[in-house]
Amino acid sequence: MTDTIETDVLIIGAGIAGVGAAAELASTHKVIILERESQPAYHSTGRSAAIFLPNYGNDVIRALNYASAPMFKQRDTKLFPEPLLTPRGSLTVADDSGIAHVEELLKNGVNVEEVDVDRALKMIPILNRDYIKAACFQAEAQDIDVNALHQGWLRKATGLGAQLHTKAEVIRATRENGTWLVETPGQTFRAKTVVNASGAWADVLAVIFGGTPVGLTPMRRTIAVLPAPEGYDTRGWPLLDDANQGWYLKPDGGRIFVSPCDETPVEPHDAYVDDMILAEGLYRYEQAVTVPVNRVERSWAGLRTFAPDRTPVAGFDSELEGFFWLAGQGGYGIQTAPALSQFAATLIRQQSLPDALAKIESRLSPKRFH
């Protein structure tokens, strides 16, 4: 029989959500992170082509985006020697069916400017002039160095004493004398507070703890890596996305990422590419450009997990004492991670939230589903 390992906070999941929360909490609490895989950030975090886009998402997501911006822009240079954000810009284009979406973004977005076809083609010279019926540009969009963010937070957390245990899938949990007793195949842990940062498995984990799922749905998102079009230097191109969310293009060094923007509901698993969906998405992309897709260098898929209202779930469970949700970040998990990490740590410490986060607390709470 193994000894029980005691801690204040047991965080389940070592992706960006769990590691960010650990980095915030480790200065005041003893923290242990459990990861079911052999390495952290194996699933969604490690497969994200993230960009910081302030206008992305619903009003709650946008509030989290703006609350996260100072941490990205005024980073701790000891943790993050290199910038976490790199200027990119985002160009949205539409055919006839997407004009209304561009108009909505121009009306409700912040710092969004309308651009004509000539300017759009200067930004992305391979665009098909006949395709574009409307376009707009967001200069504030920036690439996020996901690995640097995750690794910096992990170094901070472990430097403050947090422990990371890999190959530690939770198989059983019980509540005893005001604490959680959590069993993995090799070890047992005891903690007053458990943080459910298990991504696509968050509802599954809640059931293990005796709770009620909130209705999270993992959705597959696919990306193809293509060689840069011959004769073009793509490094300075902005992100290019279809107003109808049928595809997007993101430059990456001397290659380009193209995604069909698929959202296929699936069970939690090690996501794989659906070749048919990828082919359909690449076909839609080809209609908007003048260069055909002749070769796919590689492709991958990841899971983006959404709550029914497409808003993250963050807060203490209404039924399970000491069980904190930090899940359902969907496609916004990287850019909202600084704000959600602060949000989680503040509530676990039983402190007052900053005004910007206090205003959206009820919108994030898991209690909205029960």
Residues 95 and 115 occupy one common structural domain: yes
Give the separation between CA 326 and CA 23, rounded to whole angstroms: 14
pLDDT at 227: 96
pLDDT of 43 above 90: no
CATH number at residue 198: 3.50.50.60
Instruction: Give the residue from 290, 306, 322 where a domain finishes.
Output: 306
Asked whether residue 188 is assigned to any structural domain, the reply reads yes
Q: How many structural domains compose the chain? A: 2
Bridge partners for 30 per DSSP: none
Residues 206 and 234 occupy one common structural domain: no
Asked whether residue 47 is assigned to any structural domain, the reply reads yes
Radius of gyration for the alpha carbons in the chain, expressed in angstroms and rounded: 21
Residues 300 and 313 occupy one common structural domain: no
Residues 293 and 165 occupy one common structural domain: no
pLDDT at 1: 46
Mean pLDDT across the stretch 313-333? 96
Instruction: Give the residue from 306, 325, 342 where a domain finishes.
Output: 306
In angstroms, the Cα distances linking 322 to 6, 85, 216, 299, 370 are: 15, 35, 20, 40, 17
pLDDT tens digits for range 257-306: 999 999 999 999 999 999 999 999 999 999 999 999 999 999 999 999 99
Instruction: Give the residue from 251, 272, 306 where a domain finishes.
Output: 306
pLDDT of 50 above 90: no
Residues 13 and 133 occupy one common structural domain: no
pLDDT at 356: 96
Helix, strand, or coil here: 290? Answer: coil
Mean pLDDT score of the chain, rounded to an integer?
A: 95
Asked whether residue 113 is assigned to any structural domain, the reply reads yes
List the Cα angle 287/289/294 in 5-degree steps.
85
Residues 135 and 230 occupy one common structural domain: yes
Helix, strand, or coil here: 272? Answer: coil
Say which residue the tokens 């808003």 belong to.
Answer: 311
Residues 32 and 99 occupy one common structural domain: no
Asked whether residue 76 is assigned to any structural domain, the reply reads no
Residues 353 and 226 occupy one common structural domain: no
Asked whether residue 64 is assigned to any structural domain, the reply reads no
Asked whether residue 71 is assigned to any structural domain, the reply reads no
Mean pLDDT across the stretch 165-190? 96
Please give the residue range of the domain that contains residue 154: 4-53+146-215+309-369
pLDDT tens digits for range 197-248: 999 999 999 999 999 999 999 999 999 999 999 999 999 999 999 999 999 9
Residues 18 and 121 occupy one common structural domain: no
Give the separation between CA 21 and CA 3, rounded to whole angstroms: 26
pLDDT grade, residue 3 (50/70/90)?
A: confident
In angstroms, the Cα distances linking 276 to 47, 281, 283, 304 are: 20, 9, 11, 19
Residues 336 and 356 occupy one common structural domain: yes
Tokens of 330: 């969907």
Residues 202 and 230 occupy one common structural domain: no
pLDDT tens digits for range 359-370: 999 999 999 998
Mean pLDDT across the stretch 7-17? 97
Percent of the chain with pLDDT over 70: 97
Give the separation between CA 154 and CA 146, rounded to whole angstroms: 12
pLDDT of 357 above 70: yes
Q: What pTM did the predictor assign?
A: 0.95
pLDDT grade, residue 22 (50/70/90)?
A: very high
pLDDT grade, residue 253 (50/70/90)?
A: confident
pLDDT at 186: 87
